[in-house]
Structure 1
Amino acid sequence: MLLLIPGPVQTRPEVKAAMAQDIAPWDRDFQKVYARIRERVVGVAGGTPGVHATLPIQGAGHFVTEAALRTFVAPGAKVLIPMNGAYAQRMARLAREAGRIVVELPLTDTRGATAADIMPALEADPSIGTVAMVYNETGSGIVNDAQGIGRALHAAGKRLVLDAVSAFGALPFPLDDHPECDVLVFTSGKCLEGMPGVGFAVARIDRAEACAGNAGSWSLDLSDVLAHAKRSGWGSIRFTPPVQTIAAFDVALDLYEAEGGQASRLARYRTNTGILYDGIVALGLKPYLERDQQGPVIVTIHQPSDPRFDLLAFVEALKHRGVLISNFYNTQAPTMRIGAIGAITPEDMRRAVAAIGAALEDVLPKAA
């Protein structure tokens, strides 16, 4: 089965094989693996050991995103969130339910946010100290200009919390170039092509220490994750982790480095996206985004206007042809979501386009 969703993604056989072992999380050999991963992640993030630290949290991206918001935005403080997608809406809910004051900045979900969108809102309300934003929106496929916004925030003396869940490892955001960024978060099962189950925050150590006491949650306190590591060692884990996922992630990092790292992975994903985008246009389908706004992670497509079309029936027809896509959408207009990331090749994507065309004929047969 070819898995074309924006995470958890298709994985390599070597990554799957690493899961087939029993592991004690406190075992010294495994602690070396865990400590090594934390150091390697700082490198992938373009950070500096001693300035930045990797702070893992068990669970899905929502867990580590909430932990970042709770830790780096004080209770009762304002946080600005550019609202141009489903995952921005989820970020706003996480912040609001954690007792933070969310200032929503409404934007269209068909283009990425820029500093020109963000800075007037901050100038209008100087009491806003932090911007929290999604780097890559997997509802529509847009990419927000995280680097440009980050530079503007730095100049203005504001802070950034970056949800890079579906971007990290492909889209660049070197932390050493962005001292305004308190933390970026991502998960194991996206662009680094590991198995799902653990989220990672890469944070400034000085800021994590300064924000101790903010979280209001022991489980979701990144300052406490840091304090535990400094007290018990970087191979130590506070609570029982998904150890097989961590072992597989170590292998996924090996494969990432062997491929050539961020630039090479982004190049492959962009090639996949281009083949998919051109292919669906050739099939007579309409992409949700204009080509100049299309990111490299997911292509979102308007559903056919034919009243006979049913998304779930199409997903099942495509599944019978060996390709699995999401059976839901996150846009206001009815769409289909097709991922371009994971351990998939341009040839896989060409096969997927052919399968999409055949599945459309299955659910929308032409009149004889």
Structure 2
Amino acid sequence: MLPGPTNVPERVMRAMFTPMINHRSDDFVELYEDAVESTKKVFQSNGEAVLLSASGTGAVEASVINLIKNGDKVIIPVNGEFSGRLAQMLEWAGANVIKLETKPGENATFDQVKAAFDNNKDVKAFYCVWNETSTGTMIKYLDKIKDLTARNDSYYVVDGVSIVGGEEFPMDKWGVDVAMTGAQKAFAAPPGISPIVVNPRAKKYMEQNPPKTMYFNLSRYFKYYEEAKHTPFTPALPLLYAYREAMNVILEEGLDKRIRRHRICSDALYSGLSAIGLTPFAKEDARSTVVVALNYLEGLEDKTFRNTLANKFRVLVAGGFGNLKGKVFRVGCMGEVHRYHVMRTISAIGSTLDMMGYKTNSVEALKIAEDKLKSL
């Protein structure tokens, strides 16, 4: 129950057990083209998809070095570890970064974003970490940002590493120019493949202004795909097979049904764990549906709790980041999460707390969660 890597279906794991192929062969063209086209369907975009053999951070960095130049003005909400890292990447690229900083567990409001645009007419891009996994927060006004970026044709970039595939994301409809994710999160695939999707406007800019880098030069990927459906460098072939199968799983389930499942399971986790006596870390209007961050009970030691949960009940959850280390723990609600995962997690957490001397009402918590899960 980590916020990545998540549980991977057996059929996706089995897809990796395939004889090695030549990445300049017809077999590779079939594999890569299938994976690219499926990715575009999941992102709901007619743009260009590049499947990088890299972590999610690699795809995020690729968006920065291909789009941002020295002196460009960029607006970005910052409220946790990953949005802070992205702001740093932008600064390293030479950008004039306007940070909309809020406390962990809160999000900058849409009005604050609007005010930043009102006060900066020459903005080159708006960047955001849609789902801040370090704090369990999620921005809930992505559909409104295009009204701001349209003022001066600034670019709209969404770091969706931990949420695309687990929440609604009609990329083209929302006017997003560049977006990316990581396979090991809501896609429920092994880590190592990170797709980045670029719309025609951003693609044209990147081709006309290529960065001084080799591996993350997206214009090279565009060129190789257009000419032969190849990649410029050797990709992680076994992972691509698994990734393609994960895309098949998503599309077979259907995006609407998959998103509904994530939301129902999330509601059940929040409700059930709250009934045990745990409190969510993020403010209610900012809470993520795919990462449930919870405050520790007074006196509850982080490592002891998580080790007991793992060793006695075989349930893995994540600890806190940075200043939140030892203060919160995080439960992933993404990918393959279903009724079984929710009920087992609530039961295991309740039992662990009982073993550590905390009085909980796990029976009532499970009843509440089960009631939320009835519609699955």
CA distance, structure 2, for counterparts of residue 142 and residue 58 of structure 1: 27
Q: How far has the Cα of 1:75 moved from its partner?
A: 2.9
CA distance, structure 2, for counterparts of residue 113 and residue 328 of structure 1: 21
Question: What secondary structure is seen at the aligned counterpart in 1 of 2:150?
Answer: helix
Unaligned runs of 5+ in 1: none
Q: How far has the Cα of 1:336 moved from its partner?
A: 0.6
Question: What secondary structure is seen at the aligned counterpart in 2 of 1:300?
Answer: strand
Contact 2:121-2:152 at 8 Å conserved across structures:
no
2:89 match: 94
Pick from 101, 113, 117 the counterpart of residue 112 of structure 2.
117
1:10 match: 7
Contact 2:87-2:97 at 8 Å conserved across structures:
yes
Deviations 1:292-334 (A, max 9, x none): 432210110011111xx22112111111211011134356471
The sequence identity of aligned pairs, in percent, is 24
CA distance, structure 2, for counterparts of residue 114 and residue 340 of structure 1: 24
CA distance, structure 1, for counterparts of residue 170 and residue 270 of structure 2: 28
Deviations 1:200-252 (A, max 9, x none): 11101342232233422111121221122223x22x12112111111011111
Pick from 209, 215, 239 the counterpart of residue 245 of structure 1.
239
1:322 match: 314
Q: Does 1:23 align with 2:16?
A: no
CA distance, structure 2, for counterparts of residue 290 and residue 104 of structure 1: 20
CA distance, structure 2, for counterparts of residue 330 and residue 136 of structure 1: 17
1:37 match: 35
Question: What secondary structure is seen at the aligned counterpart in 1 of 2:179?
Answer: strand
Deviations 1:148-189 (A, max 9, x none): 12333224532111101112122223233244x321111111
- Matched letter for residue 2 of structure 2: I
Question: What secondary structure is seen at the aligned counterpart in 2 of 1:251?
Answer: helix
Q: How far has the Cα of 1:128 moved from its partner?
A: 2.0
Deviations 1:25-46 (A, max 9, x none): 3332132111111112112222
Question: What secondary structure is seen at the aligned counterpart in 1 of 2:97?
Answer: strand
Alpha carbons of structure 1 residues 255 and 199: separation in structure 2 relative to 1, 3 Å: same
Unaligned runs of 5+ in 2: 360-376
RMSD: 1.9
Alpha carbons of structure 1 residues 365 and 126: separation in structure 2 relative to 1, 3 Å: closer
Pick from 286, 289, 300 the counterpart of residue 296 of structure 1.
289
- Matched letter for residue 13 of structure 2: K
Q: How far has the Cα of 1:109 moved from its partner?
A: 3.1
Contact 1:313-1:363 at 8 Å conserved across structures:
no
Alpha carbons of structure 1 residues 53 and 84: separation in structure 2 relative to 1, 3 Å: same
CA distance, structure 1, for counterparts of residue 110 and residue 149 of structure 2: 8
Pick from 259, 275, 285 the counterpart of residue 278 of structure 2.
285
Deviations 1:41-85 (A, max 9, x none): 11222222xxx1101222111111010011112233121111122
1:163 match: 159
CA distance, structure 1, for counterparts of residue 143 and residue 351 of structure 2: 40
Q: How far has the Cα of 1:364 moved from its partner?
A: 4.0
CA distance, structure 1, for counterparts of residue 125 and residue 283 of structure 2: 30
CA distance, structure 1, for counterparts of residue 316 and residue 287 of structure 2: 21
1:355 match: 348
Normalising by the residue count of structure 2, what TM-score does the alignment of the two structures yield?
0.88
CA distance, structure 2, for counterparts of residue 110 and residue 326 of structure 1: 16
Question: What secondary structure is seen at the aligned counterpart in 1 of 2:197?
Answer: strand
- Matched letter for residue 287 of structure 1: P
Normalising by the residue count of structure 1, what TM-score does the alignment of the two structures yield?
0.90
Alpha carbons of structure 1 residues 281 and 11: separation in structure 2 relative to 1, 3 Å: same
Q: Does 1:312 align with 2:312?
A: no
Contact 2:319-2:328 at 8 Å conserved across structures:
no
Aligned residues: 354
Pick from 211, 217, 229 the counterpart of residue 215 of structure 1.
211
